[in-house]
Amino acid sequence: MDHQTNETLPKTYNILVVEDEPDARTTFIELLSTVDNYEVSGASDGDDALAKAEATKYDLILLDIVMPKKDGIETLTELLDNKERYGDPAIIMLTNIGGDIAVQNALELGAHGYKLKSTTDPQELLGYVAEMLEKRERGELKTNR
């Protein structure tokens, strides 16, 4: 009888998509869910994201910058300042505005990357997410916090 050990099974990654626009959130969740070892869930705003991140330690968070209640920058800051509470996920900011000062601010705060929602090809996003997860696994994602 041939038994697979845990080392040969692909790791399951928990991913959270934080996006206040329901259609965009659904699109991102459906796209990421096409990868067998991704467990993907969604949050509609920063408060929702923080509650979910406290309950489930995510490996990666896609975080919209412009949201009601608690925006992406405020949410990012809370995630980074409370790693014992929220874990240490790779964080990719999502925006519709190229050259956005908020993107630069997010990267300076400690976000690991960003993607433009309107122009990023689905396959490119999947590749970028996989690359960020690999870097996180290797301990290559550092924040200045």
- Angstrom distance (rounded) from CA 107 to CA 76: 10
Read off the pLDDT of residues 47-68 as tens digits, 9 standing for 90 and up: 999 999 999 999 999 999 999 8
The alpha helices in 21-112, defined as continuous H runs, are 22-32, 46-55, 72-81, 83-86, 101-109
Read off the pLDDT of residues 85-130 as tens digits, 9 standing for 90 and up: 999 999 999 998 766 788 889 999 999 999 998 888 999 999 999 9
Beta bridge mates, 60: 15, 90
Read off the pLDDT of residues 33-47 as tens digits, 9 standing for 90 and up: 999 999 999 999 999
- Angstrom distance (rounded) from CA 79 to CA 135: 19
Mean pLDDT of 68-96: 94
Q: Inform me whether the pLDDT recorded for 1 exceeds 70.
A: no
pLDDT given for residue 85 in this prediction? 96
Count how many residues are written for the chain: 145
Q: Which fold has domain 10-136?
A: Rossmann fold (3.40.50)
